[in-house]
Amino acid sequence: MADEKAGLHVELVAADRTVWSGEASMVIARTVEGDVGILRGHAPILSLLTEAAIEIASPDGVVHAAVEGGFISVANDRVSILSEGALLAEEIKVDEARAELDAAEGLPTTDQERDQRIRLASARIRAAERAS
């Protein structure tokens, strides 16, 4: 019976550390194919993440984070979010993220990194604002 109430076990892992790990009732992430919401009993998936804000509904409240792309894997009520870089909302300096967004928007439109940098800075701003 305890397993029925356990929900999801979630791990948000960056290349250099485990950013967050714990139990949750829901995860919302953005894949290259669109937004995905994960609840208990979700079908197994493996998908590519884009630069975006992540939301994790834990017993202690909603955890907001920003990821630099990566992968999301779901199987047997376990969610693994693996990213080159990830920051919790409280680690994000909004003024720095806004400056990064302004700098990225000033790049030539033919610059391939431009869109990626804009998405990442926007995700950081969104995660920090949603948490406040």
SS3 content of the chain, % helix, strand, coil (to 5): 30, 50, 20
What confidence tens digit (pLDDT) does each residue in 99-132 have?
Answer: 999 998 888 877 778 888 899 999 999 999 999 8
Answer whether residue 4 shows pLDDT above 50: no
Model confidence band, residue 5 (pLDDT cutoffs 50, 70, 90): low
* In the block, residue with structure tokens 């907001």: 64
Average pLDDT of the chain to the nearest whole number: 92
Q: What is the CA radius of gyration of the chain?
A: 15
pLDDT of residue 123: 94
Confidence of residue 10 (pLDDT cuts 50, 70, 90): very high
Residue 96: closest CA among 77, 74, 124:
124
Cα–Cα distance, 38 to 36 (Å, whole number)? 6
Which pLDDT value is given to residue 91?
Answer: 96
The 3-state DSSP class for residue 120 equals helix
**For the whole prediction, is pTM greater than 0.75?**
yes
Q: Over the stretch 12-36, which tens digit does the pLDDT of each residue have?
A: 999 999 999 999 999 999 999 999 9
Q: What is the CATH number of domain 2-88?
A: 2.60.15.10
Q: Given a cut of 50, is residue 9 above it in pLDDT?
A: yes
53-81 pLDDT, tens digit per residue, is 999 999 999 999 999 999 999 999 999 99
Domain ranges of the chain: 2-88, 91-131
Q: What is the pLDDT of residue 80?
A: 98
